[in-house]
Structure 1
Amino acid sequence: MRIYVKNMVCHRCILAVEQILQKLNYTVVDIQLGKVEIQEQLDDKALEQLRQQVEAIGFELLDDKERQLVAQIKSLLIRLLQSEHWTLETPLSSYLAEQVNRDYLYLTQLFSQIESTTIEQYFIQLKIERVKELLTYGELTLKEITFRLNYSSVAHLSAQFKKITGMTPTAFKQVMPHHRTQIDLL
């Protein structure tokens, strides 16, 4: 049985959901950001028990096919940003359409309807949060972050960063611990 879980944004999220499933004695066949495959078929009572368990730690089961698709898009974008050095051979729109096997126009309309923002704006928000994370670690220069996140230039990254956050990356570094947003809240 395939189950979609909202707000799974990192490896720890996967581990937390996997622990719940194991505690409930379900056999996990596959688990990824936002999607779990278990061997068992759950009846309504078992599904409700699972729902309560995952909601207790900040996740949400998605029953609606459209919301599942939006969660899948979000997971794809998050995974893309978490890779060490990512580049796309095709535009983001083509990548997403291919990954979920749907027309991009449908995806963008659905995403905007459910999330009240476009896929592109959501992706920019994710990228900025990733920039904040990398700046906080202090291990990479702004130029290295620019390369890692596939920006065309430091100036482009800085302009986008300032537009979203209201401050430059340098100013952020001076006040950084107080201005990060959890990815699952985007």
Structure 2
Amino acid sequence: MTKLFIKNMVCNRCIMVVRNELEKLGISVRHVGLGEVLLEKELSPEEKVNLDKVLIPLGFEVIDDKKSRVIEKIKNIIIDLVHHHENDTKTKLSDVLSSKLHHDYSYLSNLFSEVEGTTIEKYFIAQKIEKVKELLVYDELSLSEIAFRLNYSSVAYLSNQFKKVTGLSPSHFKQIGKGRRKPLDEV
């Protein structure tokens, strides 16, 4: 078995697309998850080239270097926490990342900042704001319910952070926001 790490694979639809492309190429897949694929066997050089040819036009990329893999894992953990495990945990982000990646948080934080040009915290906030935008557009929850779901201490704190990031209040965004959301891989 061998593991591949794939950049920009951030949602269930991405997983489905990558799985389909691997199957079309006749590559045996054991598991496909956010940002990673577990294959039955090592890819031949020709299979690697063919895989790149189909993935790159779709916005995906196989990651070869260790630093990039760690960064992609950080992003995928944050995306999973924010978009798939709302209010599951009150655990600190630094503890979650350190535990899942088996690295000291300061190492992860410095690496992320060095490579991405922003902090893990700012990336986490950006993901949370995108989730708030999604929930506002769906118009099924009140701002209080959204704040609770995303572990904000108060509606006021959520509103202030939202305005700081977007330049708009949540209520103003809700009025004009249908076309203002970003794909997760562009956050």
Query: What TM-score bracket applies, with the shorter chain setting the length?
Result: over 0.9
Moved over 6 A (4+): none
Counterpart of 1:151 in 2: which secondary structure?
coil
- RMSD between aligned alpha carbons? 1.1
What do the CA deviations read for 1:149-175 (whole angstroms, capped 9, x no partner)?
Answer: 111010000000000000100000111
Q: Secondary structure at the match of 2:52?
A: helix
List gaps (5 residues or longer) in structure 1.
Answer: none
Task: Name the structure 2 match of 1:152.
Answer: 153
Q: How far apart, CA to CA, are the structure 2 residues paired with 1:157 and 1:38?
A: 41
The gaps in structure 2 that reach 5 residues or longer are none
Give the CA deviation at 1:128: 0.2
State the alpha-carbon separation in 1 of the partners of residues 161 and 167 from structure 2.
10
1:1-186 paired onto structure 2 within 5 Å: 1-186=2-187
Instruction: Please tell me whether the aligned partners of residues 129 and 181 of structure 1 are also in contact (alpha carbons under 8 angstroms).
Output: yes
CA distance in structure 2 between the partners assigned to 1:184 and 1:70 by the alignment: 13
Number of matched residues? Answer: 186
- Contact persistence 1:136–1:176 (CA under 8 A): yes
- Percent identity over paired residues: 45
Query: Is the 1:14–1:31 contact (alpha carbons within 8 Å) kept by the matching residues of 2?
Result: yes
Kindly provide the amino acid, as one letter, of the partner of residue 151 in structure 2.
Answer: N
Contact 1:84 1:148 in 2 (8 A): no
TM-score by length of 2: 0.96
TM-score, with structure 1 as normaliser: 0.96
Query: How many Å apart are 1:4 and its aligned residue?
Result: 0.5
Q: In 1, Cα distance between the equivalents of 2:58 and 2:101?
A: 28
